[in-house]
Amino acid sequence: MSAAHIDRAPASGWRGWLTAEQPESVFQGRAVQVYLSARRFMANPLAVSGFLIVLLLLFTAAAAPWIATHDPLATNLEMRLLPPSAEHWFGTDHLGRDIYSRIVHGSRVTLTIVFLVSILIGPVGLAAGIVSGYFGGWVDRTLMMVTDIVMAFPRLVLALAFVAVLGPGIENAVIAVALTGWPPYARLARAETLSFRRREFIQAARSQGASPLRILGLYILPLCMPSAIVRLTLDMAGIILIAAGLGFLGLGMQPPTAEWGSMIATGRDYLIDQWWVATLPGAAIFVTCLGFNFLGDGLVDVFDPRQS
């Protein structure tokens, strides 16, 4: 049973205002919708867990200089490959650097890549999809042909090819991941635009003289946004894994900057005897990806139009 059908008994005060079956204003209607969506989200324990993990990641990245116990770049060969202890919570690596502090600061690199890739692939994919679906014809065929060509290659392989051409570095890694990540959003937006463009409200706007740009920006784009947000949240794990893969191969953020993929690469030679060097950064990637996946599943429930 959905949250909208829970506690339908008359309520007073703000709770009654937020659960009204017949809102008295547009503002109240939107408030009721947000409230019911929040209840659906909170009713999903895995979604809440994912939200808390992502919130913890954001806090860790923001407070990294204060919660890190050591300088992440400071080396001390006398302290190399120490196991986890009270002084070094996650142990030290082959150069004596504190792994906990490097994981904490590495969260900043991960969030930077995720944020930059998100603001690139979302708008590009949505723009290509709604333009293709709305205009059709040769525009649709051309854009979808480009989309199919990009989707024909595995994302990691194509990202490696782009980085090989552009050169290593976080900026080029972001560009490479973004260039390989927009086609699914274009496909999704195109499918939704095809279902919207012949609706009555679009026909009414067109008959009133609304330009195609106005229709795309004010009517179709807002309707395509929820599914794109859900898809983007679910794609975060893939973005993080590709970025970590590039770092593992030495094509992402360059040393000595702390980055989870490169930390795993440096620890693979010590995996048997000094397991913490590679295992703990890998655990950070695993937990972060799990959090984004759980959060995405919860957003599916929130934005599902079949929920009432």
Q: Name the residue ranges covered by the structural domains of the chain.
A: 1-43, 45-303
For the ranges 27-36, 64-73, 155-164, the one whose mean pLDDT is highest: 64-73
Looking up tokens 């703000």 gives 14
Under the banding of pLDDT at 50, 70 and 90, the label for residue 50 is: very high
The CA-atom distances, in angstroms, between 231 and each of 116, 150, 224, 288, 291 are 16, 18, 11, 17, 14
**What contacts 6, CB < 8 A, 6 or more positions away?**
39
- 191-197 mean pLDDT: 88
Per-residue pLDDT at 308: 44
Q: Please state, in angstroms and rounded to a whole number, the distance separating the CA atoms of residues 292 and 192.
A: 24
Amino acid at 7: D
CATH 3.40.50.2000 fits 45-303, yes or no: no
pTM reported for the whole predicted model = 0.83
